[in-house]
Amino acid sequence: MRPVDLAVRLEWIAVAVVALVLYALAGASWWLFALLILAPDLSMLGYLAGPRVGAVAYNALHILIVPLPLALAGYVFANPIAIAVALTWITHIAVDRALGYGLKLSSGFRDTHLGRIGR
């Protein structure tokens, strides 16, 4: 593994750890966490409609554009469920990136912005 790849993976591990610590500090239910942690992967069902649709569906739920503002809104409006959902979602994304799973390219499920999965 190249040093830059290791640095990127360590960075995402740090994001996952911070999200988990914040989740614990929020006092949210770990049952909710267990229920939701793999929910973003349901987007893989988009691949039943082809690689282009699958990539769009997968990527839509594996970027931080929605969970970060959701976390902020949860904090601003004192909504613990929004905070718990957002932190679980962020943890999922961070663990995926730490494992080398990137955003999908429309050429196929194994093709990601971080390289090919299962080289």
pLDDT tens, residue order, the chain (119 aa): 788 889 999 999 999 999 999 999 999 999 999 999 999 999 999 999 999 999 999 999 999 999 999 999 999 999 999 999 999 999 999 999 999 898 998 988 888 887 777 75
Those residues with Cβ within 8 angstroms of residue 31's Cβ, 6 or more apart along the chain or in another chain: none
Look up the pTM and report it: 0.93
Q: Where are the chain's structural domains?
A: 3-116
